[in-house]
Amino acid sequence: MGTRLGLICAGAAALALAPSGYAQSLAAERLEATMMIAGVRDQRGIPLSEERLQISIDGQNATTTLLQVYENPTEAQIEGRYRLRPGSGSHVDGFAYWNGEQKIVGEVFERQAARRVYDNVTTRRRDPGLLEEDGEGAFAFKIFPINPHEKKRVEIRWTRWLERRDHSVRYRAPATRRDADIVIEIAGNVKNLRSPTHKLHIDKVANGLRVRSDGAITTGELMLDWDVEDANWTPSAYVHAGATQAEEGWFALSLAAPSLEAKSVTAKDVTIVIDRSGSMAADDAIGHAKTAAADMIRLLSDKDRVNVVAFSDEVDPLFTMPKLLTPDTRKRAIAFVEGLHDGGGTDIALALSTAIKLQAQTFDGPRVVVFMTDGQSDTDKAVEAAKLDTKDVRLFTIGLGKEVNKPLLSRLAAVKRGRFAYIETAASIEPEVARLAAHIAKPLLVDVSVDVEGPVASRLYPRTLPDLFAEDELLVTGRLRGTGIAKFTIHGKLEGKPVSYTKSVDLGKAPGRPWVGGLWAQSRIAHLLEEISLGSSAPEMVEEVTNLALAYNFVTPYTAFLAIPDSELGQMRGTVEAMRDRKRKIMADNPEVTALGGSKQHGTSSPGQPATATESINSDVDGKDDDDDARGGRMAMNDRMGADSDEEYAMASPTKRRFAEASGLDSRRHGCASCATGGGKDSLALVLVVGVALARRRRRRA
Using one digit for the tens of pLDDT, what is the confidence trace for 285-328? 888 889 989 998 998 888 899 999 999 999 999 999 999 999 99
Is 392 in a helix, a strand, or coil?
coil
Q: Would the pLDDT of 659 be above 80?
A: no
Judge whether 665 and 671 are in contact, CB under 8 Å. Answer: yes
Bridge partners of residue 324, in order along the sequence: 305
Summarize pLDDT for 416-429 with one digit per residue, the tens.
Answer: 888 888 887 777 78
Residue 249 within any structural domain of the chain: no
Higher pLDDT: 695 or 687? It is 695
DSSP-assigned letters across all residues of 123-188: TTT---EEEEE-STT-EEEEEEEE-TT-EEEEEEEEEEEPPEETTEEEEEEEE--TT-EEEEEEES
Give pairs for 458-461: CB < 8 Å, separation 24+.
458/3, 458/248, 459/520, 459/524, 460/5, 460/7, 461/11, 461/12, 461/15, 461/16, 461/520, 461/523, 461/524, 461/526, 461/527
Neighbours of 264 (CB within 10 A): 12
The predicted structure's pLDDT at residue 360 = 65
DSSP 204: E
Asked if residue 643 has pLDDT above 60, the reply is: no
- Look at residue 303 in the predicted model and tell me its pLDDT: 87
**Is the peptide bond between 128 and the residue preceding it cis, with omega within 30 degrees of 0?**
no
* Contact in structure between 325 and 310 (CB atoms under 8 Å): no
pLDDT bracket for residue 651 (50, 70, 90)? very low
Mean pLDDT (the chain) is: 79
**Which stretch of 55-59, 72-76, 624-628, 630-634 has the lowest confidence by average pLDDT?**
630-634
Pairing of strands 420-423, 393-400: parallel
Taking each continuous run of H as one helix and of E as one strand, the counts in the chain are 19, 36
According to the model, what pLDDT value does residue 378 have? 82
What is the number of domains present in the chain? 2
pLDDT, residue 161, reads: 97
Chain Cα centroid distance, residue 253: 16
CA angle 347, 350, 353 (to 5 degrees): 145
| 667 three-state secondary structure | coil
**Domain assignment of residue 118, yes or no:** no
| More confident site: 124 or 199 | 199
pLDDT score, position 263: 61
Q: Report, as an integer, the average pLDDT of 4-19.
A: 33
Exposed/middle/buried for residue 301 (C-beta within 10 Å: 0-12, 13-18, 19+)? middle
Mean pLDDT along residues 363-373: 83
CA 436 to chain centre: 21
How do residues 437-460 score in pLDDT, each as one tens digit? 877 777 788 889 999 999 999 999
Q: Please say which residue of 392, 418, 441 terminates a domain.
A: 441
pLDDT digits (tens, 9 = 90+) for 379-419: 888 888 888 776 678 899 998 877 788 888 888 988 888 88
For residue 312, the model assigns a pLDDT of 92
Q: Are strands 269-275 and 249-256 parallel, antiparallel or unpaired?
A: unpaired
Q: Rg of the chain over CA atoms, in angstroms? A: 26
Identify the burial level of 115 via C-beta atoms within 10 angstroms of its C-beta, where 0-12 means exposed, 13-18 middle and 19 or more buried. Answer: middle
Portion of the chain with pLDDT greater than 70, in percent: 78
* pLDDT at 620 (0 to 100): 35
User: ∠ CA(389), CA(391), CA(392), 5° rounding?
Assistant: 130
| Per-residue confidence (pLDDT) for residue 265, from 0 to 100 | 64
d(CA 435, CA 469): 11
Cis geometry, peptide bond prior to residue 462 (ω within 30 degrees of 0): yes
Average confidence (pLDDT) over 463-483: 90
The pLDDT of residue 90 = 93
Q: For residue 159, is it within any domain?
A: no
Query: In this predicted model, which residue has the larger pLDDT, 594 or 560?
Result: 560
What is the per-residue pLDDT across 491-546, written as a single tens digit (0 to 9) for each?
Answer: 999 888 899 999 999 998 999 899 999 999 999 999 999 888 887 767 899 999 99
Tell me which H or E stretch contains 411. Answer: helix 406-415
Residue 136 lies in a domain: no
398: enclosing H helix or E strand: strand 393-400
Asked whether the predicted pLDDT for residue 435 surpasses 90, the reply is no
Establish if 377 belongs to a structural domain. yes
Predicted pLDDT of residue 2: 46
| Domain final residue, candidates 416, 441, 466 | 441
Q: Which residue has the higher pLDDT, 1 or 595?
A: 595
pLDDT over threshold 70, residue 587: yes
- Residue 597 — very low, low, confident or very high, per pLDDT cuts 50/70/90? low
Q: Are 244 and 508 in contact (CB under 8 A)?
A: no
- Tell me if 172 is assigned to some domain: no
- Is the pLDDT assigned to residue 482 strictly greater than 70? yes
Instruction: Check if the beta carbon of residue 234 is closer than 8 Å to that of residue 257.
Output: no
Which of 396, 413, 441 marks a domain boundary?
Answer: 441
pLDDT tens column, 328-351: 999 999 999 999 998 999 899 999
Residue among 189, 288, 171, 285 nearest 236 (CA): 189
∠ Cα 347 352 355 (to 5°): 125
Predicted pLDDT at 609: 37
Cα–Cα distance for residue pair 549/636, rounded to 1 Å: 34
The verdict on residue 283 lying in a domain is yes
Neighbours of 151 (CB within 10 A): 14
465 assigned to some structural domain:
no
- Residues 462-482 have a mean pLDDT of 90
Other CB atoms within 10 Å distance of the CB of residue 484 = 12
Cα–Cα distance for residue pair 31/27, rounded to 1 Å: 9
Higher pLDDT, 550 or 246: 550
Domain with 690 in it = 626-701
* pLDDT for residue 174: 96
Encode pLDDT of 102-154 as tens digits: 899 999 999 999 999 988 887 776 667 889 998 778 999 888 788 999 999 99
- pLDDT above 60 for 276: yes
Per cent of the chain over pLDDT 90 is 45
**What local confidence, expressed as pLDDT, does residue 362 receive?**
63
CATH number at residue 325: 3.40.50.410
